[in-house]
Structure 1
Amino acid sequence: MKKQLLHTPDGVRDIYREECVKKLTVEKGIRKVFRTYGYEEIETPTFEFFDIFTKERGSVTTQEMFKFFDRDNNTLVLRPDVTPAIARCVAKYFMDEDTPLRLCYLAKTFINNSSYQGRLKEMTHTGAEMVGEDSAAGDAEMIAMVVEALKSSGLKEFQVELGQVEFFRGLADEAGMDEETQENLRELIENKNIFGVEELMKTHPMQEHVRKVLMELPQLFGSLSDILKIKDMVKNERAIKAIDRLEQVNEILKLYGLEDYVSYDLGMLSKYKYYTGIIFKAYTYGTGDYLVTGGRYDKLLVQFGKDTPAVGFAIVVERLMQALDRQNIQIPVKTVNTAVIYRQEDFKQALKIAASLRSQGEAVQLIQRNLEKTEEDYCRSFMKGPVRRLFVVEKGGETVREVYISEGQEEKK
């Protein structure tokens, strides 16, 4: 029974000591990037009413939510996605705001994944949302922040893939597909299942030029020039506008000098139904999933009463940390502490030493000495943690010795 008390539930984990410091350092660097672009911090509750994240909002399925009841029998959920929560918040507090809002956040999300998936159920997301502007410049600003945020963590080799859900939806509507057929086709294209797409096409009548373009979607990825080859085959105005928007964003990214970080994939189609235009994901090696996901969601806020466009993204911090670790990228953090060891009668002098060191910005632990422990005992125990320098106070404070601990060796001074 006691052993069970030490374990965490499936899908969550403890983070401590150096790993925790590194995570906080990476988060701090990313949020600094957001601030340099003029984004303001926002926090939303960890749990909200169930209706905020229903199917109509395009978030996760009800089976993937952690649901519970309050004392008034209202159904509540742990936040599975930050974007709908921020949309609610903006509609509540900024209903009459007509200038673009730039908001950023650091928040936990909770998704009740199946245990066999091996995914964490509690994740840290940090991201940004631009509300009130529908422009290629706004889209490009999001991509620029993604690139700079990932670079701030120390990551060097990564790629941001851009897609356009309007391209697919325009073609699917022209083909006369109902919602269920569109969703089946979306999954097949997203999974690059060429044969599955071909089989579905056989069972659904449509114009030949639409069929040809839909058949090409699983393979439409690469540079922008690779994507533009399909443009002449498209007659649907909605799909053409989607391609035009990607071209506009590409031109702006050239001005940022970031075009080398970007590739394109018209077969990338998010399961989140609130996306209405450009979507994107960032990938690197060392992790099997995306680091960043985002896109434009111009019709989400209207569901909360404020009809305004928006675009945003979220960085999954745990996946970023995994990639940094597997790529052996060092995160420069200060984890060195100082300890002042004293006997009870030497506390006054020990406190003076600690106060002086703390005023210089050092991290100091005050430790009353256990007389049954030797100095060597303390040195051995400190090797497991961040303490690398000791001050040993003795004889009423008349004697103060420094002891340095380095790579398993204790050096006295």
Structure 2
Amino acid sequence: MKKSMLASAVTNMAPLRSKKLNEIESALRDVLSSYGCIEIFLPIYDYYDMLSSTTQGFSDENIIRFIDRNTGKSLVLRPDFTPQVCRYAANYMNNYPLPLRLGYRGRVFRNVNMDKGIKSEKTQVGCELFGLEEMTGDIELLLIAENGIKALKLNGHRYVIGDMKFNAELLKLAGDFKEEFLKALSAKNLDRMKQIIDSSSLDEAAKKFLKSIPFAYGGKDVLKELRTTAPNGEIKGRIEYIERFFDKLTELGIAEKALVFDASECKGYDYYTGLTFEILHGGIGSKIGTGGRYDNLAGKFGFNVPACGMAFYVEEIINVDKPTGVKVSFDYMVTGKDNQAQAEKLRAAGKSVLYVENKENKDKFLEFYEIGQIL
């Protein structure tokens, strides 16, 4: 097929890259299974109306939309798995005992600016956890992420953690100017933040605390400083929760240096309800996974339980853990018109076999494939 015939934003995997993708998916699915996740399969498109009210960052500019010619309804290629998983749990598994853990894999589709070189089609492997208490669920989610990373034999990653409950307390402190403060904080506009805070009637301790938020990025020392300078008990209490969360994770084997708190993280404020995280890898300078708590989302489908979830980004992981070798390999090549039965016997014995009917083509195949033994 000519390159010009492929949709420019759609991923086209070369053979070795495809093999690596399958290996990554398989390793991550095994980790999810070890945590009791039941794998479910979901359609690649859904109703516009359903997704528009339940998908983070949903906008007409970010989605790929089309019309169902039979019903006239608007459909959208799936931009996010979580709403679909919540609806699935609500409709088909609401009689299951809690906690309920569901796993998935597949592609999400987003309409993106191609000038930035971002693909509109991305492969994800992830899970959603329903009915776990906040601390228990938050810990399990990070442990799934950590064990997924270990299964892929990666290192050099960090978990950058934000907290929407902490942000909610900041907005309460900001009071009448909370909308302006949130807008400036989201944009990391430090000058505007300073203007807003200085013009307020807050006391000096509160002003100093709010001004420190964009710079509060780091580990347990940053959390300690925030707790020490917290202007009220509610903010202090939430910081103490995050400190306990960090302590439990390190007790369970996650390296302390891999845990980072970002006090100014507020993306998805209207979607997430508690802790959020991004898995960053220094080798590519971008995230290879993300997740968080969204206790209000499942309730929109009549499934009123606490929930959290996370997803690994498979293509980004491939950029870290690149395919090795230059050829696809097989255990055997069997040649000749009369030897097809021999190829089947080897396959029955668990061997990978490339059968070539015409012996004269053998050398041509050796240019493209690595063969253990030729028969």
Task: Identify whether the pair has TM-score above 0.5, normalized to the shorter chain.
Answer: yes
2:156, 2:283 within 8 Å by CA — same for their partners in 1? Answer: no
> What is the alpha-carbon distance in structure 2 between the residues aligned to residue 226 and residue 255 of structure 1?
19
Give 5+ residue unaligned stretches, structure 1.
Answer: 392-413
Indicate whether 1:356 and 2:356 are aligned: no
Alignment-derived partner of residue 289 in structure 2:
292
Identical pairs, percent:
24
| Other-structure match for 2:305 | 308
In structure 1, distance between residues paired with 2:167 and 2:9: 34
Does the 8 A contact of 1:59 with 1:81 survive in 2?
A: no
TM-score, with length taken from structure 2: 0.90
SS at match of 1:13: coil
Task: Please say which of residues 86-95 and 146-155 is displaced more in the overlay.
Answer: 86-95
Equivalences for residues 210-225 of structure 1 within 5 A? 210-225=206-221
Higher Rg = 1
| Cα distance change, pair 47–237 in 1 and its aligned pair in 2 (3 A) | farther
The amino acid that maps onto 1:160 is Y
Q: Is the aligned partner of 1:339 residue 2:333? A: yes
| Alignment correspondent of 1:401 | none
Length-normalised TM-score, structure 1: 0.82
Q: For the residues of structure 2 that align with 1:94 and 1:172, how far apart are their CA atoms?
A: 37
**Does the CA contact (< 8 Å) of 1:53 and 1:59 recur in 2?**
no
> Structure 1's 235 and 203: CA in aligned 2 closer, same or farther, altered over 3 A?
closer
The alpha-carbon deviation at position 131 of structure 1 amounts to: 0.6
User: d(CA) in 2 for partners of 1:248 and 1:355?
Assistant: 58
2:89, 2:355 → 1: CA distance?
46
Q: CA deviation at 1:40?
A: 1.2
Work out the CA distance in 1 between the residues paired with 2:371 and 2:176. Answer: 64
Partner in structure 2 of residue 405 of structure 1: none
1:41 Cα offset (Å):
0.8
SS at match of 1:65: coil
User: Residue 222 of structure 2: SS of its match in structure 1?
Assistant: helix
Cα deviation, residue 387, structure 1: 3.8
Structure 1 distance, partners of 2:89, 2:114, is 35
In structure 2, the partner of 1:248 is 244
Structure 1 residue 238 displacement after superposition:
4.4
Contact 1:337 / 1:364 at 8 angstroms: preserved in 2? yes
Question: Residues 68-79 of structure 1: matches in 2 within 5 Å?
Answer: 68-70=66-68, 71-79=70-78
| Alpha-carbon distance change, 303 to 207 in structure 1, aligned in 2, over 3 angstroms | farther
Would you say the 8 A contact 1:68–1:76 is kept in 2?
yes
Alignment partners' CA distance in 2, 1:218 and 1:179: 15
Aligned amino acid, residue 342 of structure 2: I
Q: Which amino acid aligns with 1:342?
A: G
Structure 1, residues 230-274: CA drift from partner, whole Å, max 9, x if none? 123324454334312212212221331214332222222223631
Query: How big is each residue's C-alpha offset from its partner over 1:108-134, in whole Å with a ceiling of 9 and x where there is no partner?
Result: 101111112211110011112111122
Q: What secondary structure does 1:128 align onto?
A: strand
Alpha-carbon contact 1:21-1:335 (below 8 Å) kept: no
Deviation at 1:303, TM superposition (A): 1.5
**After alignment, is 69-78 or 57-66 more displaced?**
57-66
1:37-68, CA deviations, whole angstroms, 9 ceiling, x for partnerless residues? 11111222111111232255434322101111
| Deviates most, 200-209 or 120-129 | 200-209
Aligned residue runs from structure 1 range 267-282, under 5 A: 267-271=264-268, 273-282=270-279
Q: What is the rounded CA distance, in whole Å, between the counterparts of 2:220 and 2:73 in structure 1?
A: 49
Contact conserved, 2:275 with 2:292, CA < 8 A, in 1?
Answer: yes
Tell me the equivalent position of 1:232: 228
The match for 2:109 is 110
Task: Kindly provide the CA deviation profile for residues 55-113 of structure 1, in whole angstroms up to 9, marking residues without a partner as x.
Answer: 55434322101111112111111110111111111121233445111111112101111
Q: Give distance in 1, aligned partners of 2:177 and 2:82.
A: 27
Q: Rate the CA distance shift 1:57–1:17 in 2: closer, same or farther, 3 A.
A: closer
Q: Is the 1:340–1:365 Cα contact (8 Å) retained in structure 2?
A: yes
Q: Aligned-pair distance for 1:220?
A: 0.8
How far did residue 367 of structure 1 move? Answer: 2.0
**Equivalent pair of 1:137/1:252 in contact (CA under 8 Å):** no
Amino acid at match of 1:139: D
Tell me the distance in 2 between the aligned counterparts of 1:337 and 1:28.
21
Q: How does 1:35-50 map to 2 (within 5 A)?
A: 35-50=33-48
Q: Which residue of 1 aligns with 2:357?
A: 368
Partner-residue secondary structure (3-state), 2:146: helix
Query: How far off is 1:281 after superposition?
Result: 0.9
2:6 is equivalent to residue 8 of structure 1: yes
Conservation of the 8 A alpha-carbon contact between 2:15 and 2:328: no
Query: How far apart, CA to CA, are the structure 1 residues paired with 2:116 and 2:201?
Result: 37
Aligned-residue CA RMSD (Å)? 2.5
Give distance in 2, aligned partners of 1:81 and 1:23.
20
Name the SS for the 2:132 alignment partner: coil
Structure 2: 5+ residue runs without aligned partners? none
Check the 8 A contact 1:164/1:243 in 2, yes or no.
no
Tell me what 1:395 maps to.
none
